[in-house]
């Protein structure tokens, strides 16, 4: 059986690694917060005391970390995966990071006779828990086939986007659009609430026209529409992903005036009472500014 390492056991990494364990994989886990390790030990995981120990015990290592700097440190830092790993080892990064970092780490891994794949995750924590995540994968077909059983244990949709770096670029563009759409959706729903239209009615109409988006259909249904704005996709992560998209656009000399305005709004949200909440709380902020109650779906 393939020996799997998993580094980063946060809101996405914990359920994703749990699904690997439930599907019978041998998984060695590591997180700097040891309290996150304990529930996985109960599912049969092996605990590692360091990144180097994960590398020593694993043929394939999966990383799910908050930001570019964390991935770079885990991969290329002292006693990181490149230094501690072995020829033939695959590192599959599922984090959302700057694509230039992905490119750099892939080159460094190749020089060490290792393979680096990017497998950025689509969808949200409820899907990670259910094992129905989407993966946008960059890498060579033969390498992706080696990790496919792991991806299938954690998700139900695997999209090969192209060579290494393609998956994370697709994810950044996806989240770029999602974050800008969130601002427009919040403004539209606030306007609907202020004129007295029930959320069920407005949502039913919009999801039946070309104005529809995933936030109305699924993303916000279990969060802000249910009165829950505790972090799932946290506001700081949404802001980070939008900034990554703008940075990528700038590199490609693509103008992004709407996204620039949305980023300014996210910056303001981070300084507000909603700064540590789920990104769907962008609707709460808009409603508060307009002086209306946050709309919720009927329970019938």
Which residues are marked as active site?
A: 171
- Using alpha carbons only, give the angle 9, 273, 226 rounded to the nearest 5 degrees: 70
- 264: tokens are 């300014």
Look up tokens 């997180």; give the residue.
31
Tokens coding 184: 């427009």
CA proximity to 282, closest of 180, 204, 206? 180
Cα separation of 15 and 9, whole Å? 8
Contact 130/105 with Cβ under 8 angstroms?
no
**SS3 call for 158:** strand
Bridge partners (DSSP) of residue 136 are 120, 159
239 Cβ contact list (under 8 Å, min separation 6) = 179, 263, 266, 267, 269, 270
CB-CB contact of 102 with 93 (8 Å): yes
φ and ψ at 60, to 5 degrees? -130, 130
Q: Where are the alpha helices (DSSP H) in 93-165?
A: 99-111, 125-130, 141-154
Long-range contacts of 219-222 (CB under 8 A, 24+ apart): 219/124, 219/178, 219/280, 220/185, 220/280, 220/283, 221/297, 222/126
């Amino acid at each position: 059986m393939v020996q799997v390492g998993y580094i980063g056991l946060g809101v996405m990494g914990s359920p994703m690694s749990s699904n690997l364990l439930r599907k019978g994989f041998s998984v060695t886990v590591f997180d700097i917060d040891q309290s996150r390790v304990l529930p996985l030990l109960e599912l049969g995981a092996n605990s590692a005391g360091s990144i180097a120990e994960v590398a020593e015990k694993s043929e394939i290592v999966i990383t799910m970390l908050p930001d570019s700097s964390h991935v770079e440190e885990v991969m290329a830092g002292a006693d990181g995966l490149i230094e501690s790993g072995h020829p033939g080892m695959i590192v599959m990064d599922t984090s959302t990071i700057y694509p230039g970092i992905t490119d750099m780490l892939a080159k460094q891994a190749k020089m060490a006779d290792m393979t680096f794949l990017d497998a950025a995750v689509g969808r949200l924590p409820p899907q990670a828990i259910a094992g129905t995540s989407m993966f946008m994968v960059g890498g060579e077909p033969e390498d992706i086939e080696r990790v496919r059983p792991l991806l299938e244990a954690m998700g139900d949709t695997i999209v090969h986007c192209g060579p290494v770096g393609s998956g994370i670029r697709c994810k950044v563009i996806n989240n770029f659009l999602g974050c800008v759409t969130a601002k427009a959706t919040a403004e539209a729903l606030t306007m609907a609430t202020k004129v007295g239209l029930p959320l069920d009615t407005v949502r039913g109409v919009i999801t039946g026209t070309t104005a529809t988006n995933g936030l109305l259909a699924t993303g916000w249904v279990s969060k802000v529409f249910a009165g829950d704005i505790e972090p799932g996709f946290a506001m700081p992560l949404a802001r980070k992903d939008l900034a990554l998209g703008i940075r990528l656009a700038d590199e490609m000399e693509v103008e992004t005036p709407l996204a620039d305005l949305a980023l300014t709004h996210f910056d303001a949200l981070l300084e507000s009472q909603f700064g540590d909440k789920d990104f769907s709380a962008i609707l709460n902020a808009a409603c508060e500014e307009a002086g209306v109650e946050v709309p919720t779906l009927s329970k019938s």
